Amino acid sequence: MSPFVIGQEYERSRLLEFIGSRQMQSGVLWGSEEPGCLICTSGGRGGKKAGYSDERLSDGTWWYFGQGRTGNQSLSNSANSKLSSGKYSVLLFTTREPTAKEVEARGNYGKLFSYCGQFNVSGFDQFLPTNGSRQGDKLWRFRLLPIGEEKYYYYNEKNDLDLEFSGDLREMQYRLTSIVATKPEPRISMTEYRSRSAAVHLYASLRSNGQCEACGSVAPFTRPDGRGFLEVHHLTRLADEGPDLPSNVAALCPNCHRRVHYSIDRKEFSKKLQDAIALKETIVAGWE
């Protein structure tokens, strides 16, 4: 959940306040208020002169270029390593210069940031501009995949799950952890991305054993496949879609899921939940 409205423009100070950061210049912002979130701003760099630019594709995904203004870009700088980890929700904004009239009205020259929505990073690859000032530099570009808020994805595991699992929770934990913990594949396919996401959802559902992992209540009703209905929540991200680590997801009853997103004590509730999940994961890891 984010407080921003798609298409609406904001001042940089509002972005910094939301995320809890004081970064002055960077195009990618992060901070202590929303630790699972990155704010990515697009525009004001790249373009024809440089031979590359961020780009919205016809399917609604984006190519978003990494940070690093000269020479080859590295995946080890703070912004690019966070983007490539695949573990963050991205709030994307496009940038524009204010008009003279707006400068007069606002009393400052600061750029304006228009909200484009929430995304996950589904993969990345290298891009070499063939012209412009960055010609020949090795740049990284990240594929941003839009996600809808309040859209609880019901994976059809038979179709979406490419990985073969025996149904053993310990084995799933090991494999899902090692998949994500090794550097995410550049050029990861959408099929693989969805499959990994479906596997993490299935894992949380199996680990819950049909009981809410926050309050312990039995799932409120049964799904067509016989499993109890619980919603999968990402503990640190803003959004509940996308792949992640077993230790970062919880299967929750609809009440607890609302509570963790919307209640006045959501931060404390989430912290308790994280501790409970960490303990469960230790137990699963200890299984022979």
Cβ contact 276:214 at 8 Å? yes
For residue 208, CA distances in Å to 66, 169, 188, 228, 239 come to 38, 11, 29, 9, 20
Cβ contact 148:190 at 8 Å? no
The whole-angstrom separation of Cα 10 and Cα 41 is 12
Cβ neighbourhood burial of 230 (10 Å; 0-12, 13-18, 19+): buried
CB of 262 to Zn ion, least distance (A): 14
CB of 212 to Zn ion, least distance (A): 3
Binds Zn ion (CB under 5 A): choice among 253, 260, 273, 277: 253
C-beta atoms surrounding 43 within 10 Å: 17
Binds Zn ion (CB under 5 A): choice among 15, 214, 249, 251: 214
CB of 257 to Zn ion, least distance (A): 8
Cβ contact 207:231 at 8 Å? no
Q: Is 6 in the site for Zn ion (CB under 5 A)?
A: no
> For residues 15 and 251, which CB has a smaller minimum distance to Zn ion in the complex?
251
Structure tokens at 92: 């994307």
> For residues 38 and 212, which CB has a smaller minimum distance to Zn ion in the complex?
212
Q: Is 212 in the site for Zn ion (CB under 5 A)?
A: yes
Q: Is 277 in the site for Zn ion (CB under 5 A)?
A: no
> For residues 50 and 212, which CB has a smaller minimum distance to Zn ion in the complex?
212
Q: Is 235 in the site for Zn ion (CB under 5 A)?
A: no
Cβ contact 143:36 at 8 Å? no
CB of 234 to Zn ion, least distance (A): 16
CA 155 to chain centre: 18
Binds Zn ion (CB under 5 A): choice among 6, 103, 128, 215: 215
Stretch that binds Zn ion, among 63-71, 191-199, 249-257, 272-280 (CB under 5 A): 249-257
Bridge partners for 93 per DSSP: 41, 115
> For residues 120 and 270, which CB has a smaller minimum distance to Zn ion in the complex?
270
Stretch that binds Zn ion, among 58-66, 111-119, 207-215, 265-273 (CB under 5 A): 207-215
Q: Is 256 in the site for Zn ion (CB under 5 A)?
A: yes
Cβ contact 1:18 at 8 Å? no
Stretch that binds Zn ion, among 113-121, 125-133, 164-172, 208-216 (CB under 5 A): 208-216
Stretch that binds Zn ion, among 135-143, 161-169, 256-264, 271-279 (CB under 5 A): 256-264
Dmax of the chain from CA atoms?
A: 69
Interface with Zn ion by CB under 5 A: which residues? 212, 214-215, 253, 256
